[in-house]
Structure 1
Amino acid sequence: MPDSPATKKLTGHTAPVYVVEYLKTKPQLLSGSFDNTLRLWDTDTLKPLATLGGHTDLVLTVAIAPDDKTIASGSQDKTIQLWALPDAPPEDPNAPLKPTGELKGHASQIYSVAFSPDGKTLASASADKTVRLWDIATLKEIRALPEQGGPVYSVAFSPDGQTLLTGGGDKTVRLYNVADGKELRQFPGAEDAVYTVAYHPDGKTIAAAGLDKVVRTWNVDSGEPATVYSGARGDIYRVQYNSNGSQLLAVTYAANLAIWNTADGKLHYQTDLPGRTTYGAAWSPNAQQIAIAAEDGNVYLLDLPKPA
């Protein structure tokens, strides 16, 4: 396996960091924390650029629109807040920027939000057992999908935006048609709650993981099981493919990161992370860095060795 990655630290949150996401067009990163705020960081200088305030409880999920101009976040406070990302950073990076919109309708905390590939629709998943679709232009709810058998922890749009993937506390992975909200199929196999789902960039394969500590994948069209990625140490809180789909990462509650090669399903790299607990992770757009959301209130940036 490659050598241990060089680690950098982003410091500023005053409580555990739960979620991280990279912008696609700039060397910037967004983090969401149990201090009720989001922070925008420069990943080159490691300096904070802006603080986004508006939630009254823990921030559990963030999403960035495909054009990097709009941010959505979901919280324990049952709301989704929207921000317009400033073209230039504010003078005071610690002065909270106010939301530009709010989406209300869920009856409990919101665990996951995701933008459609065209940026016009937002999906949200909640402990109230529902997934909702929202129109970003009007801030109105388009529809709520049928109630599931437990909390819904994760949502992901297909690359073509036509289907929506969900994972939940009832051990199910479900696929929905975005146009009419109808369930297309379930993907069996998970043995415990599903915390995280992801689409391969080619749209042909999906991945899901959670409390059963392995990453399961399926063929989207046939519903047949594909590779099972094992070896992660702990309950898996986030899975994500890199930008070209050649690798898949999982980060665990037990502060462990695993990366597999998708071509052969083999474990490519594994490391224990700073701190005792980690919640989230994200690949940078060039797949050469991974950001980690940690319980100690820091964001860690791992620079991966470049392939030979």
Structure 2
Amino acid sequence: MTIPGRRVALLIATDTYSDATFGRLRAPTQDVTQLAAVLGDSEIGDYEVSTLVNQPSDVLRLRIEELFVDANRNDLILLCFSGHGLKDETGQLHLVATDTQRRRLASTAVAARYVRDRIDSSPARKVVLWLDCCYGGAFPAGAKPKSGGSVDVMDELTHRSGRGCVVMTASTHLQYAFERDSDITIDDAAYPSVFTGAIIEGLRSGEADRNHDGEIDSAELYEYVYDRVKQSTPDQTPTWNQQSTGSLYIARSDRGMRLHPTLPDEIRQNLRSSRASFRLVAIRELATLANDGDYELRKAAVTTLRQLSTWPDKRIAQEAIDALSPPKPRAKAESASAPSSSSSVRTSATPAPIRRPVRSKWLPMRDLTKRTAILLGALGTTILELKLGSYELLPTWLEITLAIIFLVGCIIAIWWASISVIRVFKDQSSVLATNEFSGHFTAFRPDGQIFACGGTSSGSAWRTPSWQRLSASSSWLRAAWDASFSPNSNSMAVAVRDRVALVDTDTWRQIATTENPTRDRYRIVTFSPSGELLAGADSAGRITIWNTLSLTPVTFLDSAEDPAKVLTFSPDGNVFVSSGRPGIIQLWETRSWKLIGQLEHRYISDMTFSPNGEALITASYAGIKEWSTRSWSELVEHDVGGSAIAFNRDGSLFAYCKMDGAICVVDAPTWDPVLTLIGHQDQPLAIAFSPDSGVLASTSYDRTIRIWDLPLIRKRQDDS
């Protein structure tokens, strides 16, 4: 695994001098200040920036040495100097400091050779040097210049150039101004602000990103700076020398696709190629890395493939989409030649109708036994109290008190038992299972072929055509705190203790699993509408977003509650919502994963988006609220408590659960009552419509799973 290096920049500006022969410059301090802001911007350069303004030569030499000596092998080191440059009699270049004396260059200036030696001896393999200075004449009075009228500083700065060193200078022309035996003034003829200003503008605006790949390399930056400088100052010609293997990436831009920094160079080069065949080769390599690379490479590969899936070139986009498709599970050896469904196959848009199971009105034995025991106990105790009272064994006041208590208990027990009996006769559901579950999730697979229920370490699944229990599912769902079906495949995400697993629901075999070094228990999981992302919240309050291809984390979010209780995505996948008790609802924008707002609904128990995406519905024991997804303002509050809520597939029906065990189905647009489903003896925990909207499934604290045939119940209620 490649260890990412730091990005370190040292910017030096000198515009005032103790030696009057050096003219005061106007721009260096301002330019270096602006350049520091651009390079330090996490969205552009993301450098660790230090600046030195008007410092003596010994300080400059010390800081330059520290910059290169303290660097690591993978660091990118950027050194920028803005000020005067001067050559001595031997043709050696010197960078002028604030205390530099023209006649004492060797001891009071910073020699270019010194900088070159520091670069060559540094562990850093990536070095960028920008010199925004003119290289003024330094010949003794009356002497003939040894180098002619034009001197190229590249001889000084690229000799013995180490691997990965790029030098860019403001100009190749050195203008000499001197008079025999007279005061010599060296002026600012190279206009440093033009050169540095072009760098700042190119990085800040992103215009230096010539190939629109989201990154600005050294070659692109030089081309941009050259064009800008020549346009504004024709007599000035920036120069550039690169002695490195591959390009050095200076900064990011908001143009085009940004390539992940950990991608191998050969893949980056192929993706930047103008030839589609090279890009296709890169996509195949990315597909391999997404499945077989280490953690960082898998994350980089998946991120890049997702970016390529929206590429304007349809062939490139389709190739990336195919690469992102989950791998097909391996078939059993004995049935390898037989066709089988796969977790990567999209489900049918029109699910098959679901038939309800054979109806059973039997109350759960635990619940019936409990209520009968309370009734008999109250009656027996009352009889005993009356018997003792007849023998005058108790004081009168105690007899009266006990009689009242036992009478009240008897009335309550009779009322409770009567309610149970009445509900039995009003119950029009089919009890799928009893005495097993207090599940917090119920869900149908998108094709309607499988129903799953469970939570709190208990659960199972059934095949809906026959309502036969799938024994193979128990190994996963009985250990699950939560589970969610993928919207576009036959896979299911299961929160099992300290990990989340993707399971093929045709074979109930594991496809992939998460890595969780913290060992915190995951309590809730949910898919994005596209099925490309999976969100999970653990017991420590951290929300993790995974890519479903490899189950590698995309980002981590901090929940306002500890931990989050409810997670959901908007139908278009652009907004992610998390919430928990006491009820802070957080809204996240999924492109940047930035928090865009917060809502509040105290003691929230469930929430969901309307299928058309126009409203967010939140439920609590105090009431149900509707929020506008345009302004995120409250639209209306319904004065009904809801422990669980759900829309049917087309959004025409909305169901909510009441504390007394009833489930109310209303017309979603108008909230006009449609059905009242009575059968549960205690508060429902979770409900779900089947994909064809013909069946509603529910679980409750009464430890039953009930299936409601909605068309049949509606017909019977209409007939009565």
TM-score of the aligned structures, taking structure 2 as reference length = 0.32
1:53-107 Cα distance to aligned partner (Å, 9 max, x none): 277231221111112221111233x3441212238xxxxxxxxx54134434569
Farther-moved stretch of structure 1 (258-267 vs 162-171): 162-171
- 1:287 and 2:287 correspond: no
In the alignment, the residues of structure 2 paired with residue 155 and residue 180 of structure 1 have an alpha-carbon distance, to the nearest angstrom, of 16
Kept in 1: contact 2:561–2:579 (CA 8 A): no
Match of 2:661 in 1: 297
- 1:178 and 2:548 correspond: yes
Matches within 5 A, 1:122-271: 122-126=492-496, 128-147=497-516, 150-230=520-600, 232=601, 234-252=602-620, 254-271=621-638
Q: 1:265 to 1:301 in 2, by over 3 A?
A: same
**Bigger-Rg structure (1/2):** 2
In the alignment, the residues of structure 1 paired with residue 479 and residue 592 of structure 2 have an alpha-carbon distance, to the nearest angstrom, of 33
The alignment partner of 2:431 has SS state of: strand
Q: Which structure: greater helix fraction?
A: 2
Match of 1:83 in 2: 462
Q: Alpha-carbon deviation of 1:124?
A: 1.7
**Aligned AA (2:554):** L
Q: Alpha-carbon deviation of 1:197?
A: 0.6
Farther-moved stretch of structure 1 (278-287 vs 215-224): 278-287
Q: 1:28 to 1:207 in 2, by over 3 A?
A: farther
Kept in 1: contact 2:521–2:538 (CA 8 A): yes
Q: 1:304 to 1:161 in 2, by over 3 A?
A: closer
Q: Alpha-carbon deviation of 1:265?
A: 0.6
Unaligned runs of 5+ in 1: 1-22, 30-34, 37-45, 88-96
Kept in 1: contact 2:561–2:584 (CA 8 A): no
The alignment partner of 2:670 has SS state of: coil
**Aligned AA (2:530):** D
**Aligned AA (2:627):** W
Q: Alpha-carbon deviation of 1:47?
A: 7.4
Q: Which structure: greater strand fraction?
A: 1
Match of 1:74 in 2: 454
1:131-160 Cα distance to aligned partner (Å, 9 max, x none): 221111111122332335644232111222
Q: Alpha-carbon deviation of 1:26?
A: 6.5
In the alignment, the residues of structure 2 paired with residue 140 and residue 53 of structure 1 have an alpha-carbon distance, to the nearest angstrom, of 24
In the alignment, the residues of structure 1 paired with residue 489 and residue 505 of structure 2 have an alpha-carbon distance, to the nearest angstrom, of 8
Q: 1:269 to 1:151 in 2, by over 3 A?
A: farther
In the alignment, the residues of structure 2 paired with residue 64 and residue 306 of structure 1 have an alpha-carbon distance, to the nearest angstrom, of 26
Q: Alpha-carbon deviation of 1:27?
A: 10
Q: Alpha-carbon deviation of 1:240?
A: 0.9
TM-score of the aligned structures, taking structure 1 as reference length = 0.72
Kept in 1: contact 2:460–2:478 (CA 8 A): no
In the alignment, the residues of structure 2 paired with residue 25 and residue 266 of structure 1 have an alpha-carbon distance, to the nearest angstrom, of 38
Q: 1:27 to 1:71 in 2, by over 3 A?
A: closer
Kept in 2: contact 1:55–1:75 (CA 8 A): no
The alignment partner of 2:440 has SS state of: strand
In the alignment, the residues of structure 1 paired with residue 353 and residue 658 of structure 2 have an alpha-carbon distance, to the nearest angstrom, of 23
**Aligned AA (2:609):** Y
Q: Alpha-carbon deviation of 1:109?
A: 5.6
Q: 1:285 to 1:154 in 2, by over 3 A?
A: same
Kept in 1: contact 2:354–2:465 (CA 8 A): no
Farther-moved stretch of structure 1 (131-140 vs 106-115): 106-115
Match of 2:491 in 1: 121
In the alignment, the residues of structure 2 paired with residue 296 and residue 150 of structure 1 have an alpha-carbon distance, to the nearest angstrom, of 34
1:213-251 Cα distance to aligned partner (Å, 9 max, x none): 122111112110123222x2x322222111111100111
In the alignment, the residues of structure 2 paired with residue 218 and residue 157 of structure 1 have an alpha-carbon distance, to the nearest angstrom, of 15
Q: 1:178 to 1:304 in 2, by over 3 A?
A: closer
**Aligned AA (1:141):** Q
**Aligned AA (1:137):** D
**Aligned AA (1:84):** R
Root-mean-square deviation (Å): 3.2
**Aligned residue-pair number:** 255
The alignment partner of 1:72 has SS state of: strand
Kept in 2: contact 1:52–1:98 (CA 8 A): no
In the alignment, the residues of structure 2 paired with residue 174 and residue 57 of structure 1 have an alpha-carbon distance, to the nearest angstrom, of 28
Q: 1:48 to 1:142 in 2, by over 3 A?
A: farther
**Aligned AA (2:446):** P
Q: Alpha-carbon deviation of 1:108?
A: 7.5
Match of 2:431 in 1: 51
